[in-house]
Structure 1
Amino acid sequence: MNKKKQFAILGLGRFGASLAIALENMGYEVLCVDLDERVVERLSGTLSRVVSFDIRDAKALAQVGIDSFDTVVITSKNLESSLMATMLCKEQQVPEIIVKAIDERHAEMATRLGATQMIFSERDMARRLAKHLSSPNVLDYIEIDADINVISFYAEEELQGKKLQDTDLRSKYGLNVIAIIRSSETIITPPPAFVFQEGDKVFAVGSSAALAKFENK
């Protein structure tokens, strides 16, 4: 039986606290750290393991066994604290170090110090909102990689009653349908003969160019 991953969240702002609560609700063990004792006290009734210390303190990180965690997520808004914690986690050979970046410069420095993944929550949310505002029919937009994106949209009238193989989603727009939600049923990788109905929520993957072409149709 596989051992459940263990997470440490360093920084309990809105993002860090929400992430910690979500992971705990999923049944994972989560160590939560923040310098502000008032924040720790406020969250102590919600989170199982929440402590207060300076994440720039190598001894404190060692005392909580930071090297035993599979993933450390550093969400501190303080640039110095974020970078120092990144370096210390790298020295402790934490396998996955995820840093919530303030800006591109922060991301570059954190990567050099050992971060394995960067999060740009405000930037990513802004991009998703921009996509939604510019394309009202697009319900959501997720950037998986530099040129791999997933969008969701409701089947428009021109799709309804058509088989997937008879639409131009792939041939003309370069979009591959990966899932359909119909009422309470989820259809993964629908077959070519799948017939669209009104109310179908469509999930499709494609390049940035493909999405732009589809949105401008």
Structure 2
Amino acid sequence: MKKQFAIIGIGRFGSSVAKTLCALGHDVLAVDRSQERIQEIADCVTHAVQADATDEETLRSLGIRNFDAVVVSIGDDIQSSILIALLCKELGVKFVIGKAQNDLHAKVLYKIGVDKVVFPERDMGVKIAHHLASTNVLDYIELASDYSLVEVTAIPEWIGKSLKQINMRVVYGLNIVAIKRGDDVLVSPKGEDVIYEGDVLVAIGRNDHIKMLEERAQE
């Protein structure tokens, strides 16, 4: 299912989130004060707008409340970051992620109602994008340029079936390396191991195959 995301602040982190979400097939609005940054990302996203997001009327005109989620990734201006996040919540954005510089910044963001706060390393944007794009994806770790490890909640059609019946390797081209069940972790599960409701499957494989799995998990 295609979703709509707005990324406010197109630095390294914001750019990484925006490009990855677009690559996953979602609509992305990129917003930044810098015309140069907007020009750089314009061809990689659905819409790119040069604007001051600290202005409430600007956010209204962008229809910010209609997005499934907004990522406030302002890196060098804590005051602007807090103000934009606050405006987004006040305007009715359902889910806001804020990038924080330090613990105090994070504490303030949570106080004003931000749903999730991250302290991103350079590549964290990719992980956040996959988490946003699929509610079933719990974690995503890029192992190489075209291979990743993903944690995905078992979808209804897998419940009660064995790994052999699901046949993940043939259907999705992925290898299941572990099953997380509550506090227990079953490492190197066998084909006869059955999937239960609430299980988390840890899979490894090519990024294009992981994308297929994410799309199936959202159906």
Establish whether TM, by shorter chain, passes 0.5.
yes
- Relative CO higher for 1 or 2, CA cutoff 8 Å, sep ≥ 6? 2
Q: Structure 2: where are the runs of 5+ without partners?
A: 125-138, 142-167, 180-188, 194-201, 204-219
Change (3 A) 1:90 1:186: same
CA distance in 2, matches of 1:75, 1:110: 12
For these two proteins, the number of residue pairs brought into alignment is: 144
Q: Does 1:108 align with 2:97?
A: no
CA distance in 1, matches of 2:22, 2:191: 40
Residue matched to 2:59: 61
Letter in 2 for 1:43: I
Residue matched to 2:148: none
Normalized against structure 2, the TM-score is what? Answer: 0.58
Change (3 A) 1:47 1:185: closer
CA distance in 2, matches of 1:45, 1:123: 21
Q: Which has the larger radius of gyration?
A: 1
Contact persistence 2:73–2:81 (CA under 8 A): yes
Letter in 2 for 1:36: S
Give the counterpart of 2:7 among 9, 13, 29. 9
Residue matched to 1:137: none
Letter in 1 for 2:79: E
Give % identity.
37
Q: Structure 1: where are the runs of 5+ without partners?
A: 126-148, 152-180, 195-202, 205-217
CA distance in 1, matches of 2:113, 2:16: 24
Residue matched to 2:86: 87
Change (3 A) 1:150 1:57: closer
Residue matched to 1:96: 95
Change (3 A) 1:98 1:185: closer
CA distance in 2, matches of 1:13, 1:55: 15
Runs of 4+ in 1 over 6 A off after TM superposition: none
Deviation readout 1:109-128 (Å, 9 max, x if unpaired): 11111201011113997xxx
Deviation at 1:24, TM superposition (A): 0.4
Letter in 1 for 2:116: Q
Change (3 A) 1:36 1:96: same
Matches within 5 A, 1:38-57: 38-57=36-55
SS at match of 1:85: helix
Normalized against structure 1, the TM-score is what? Answer: 0.58
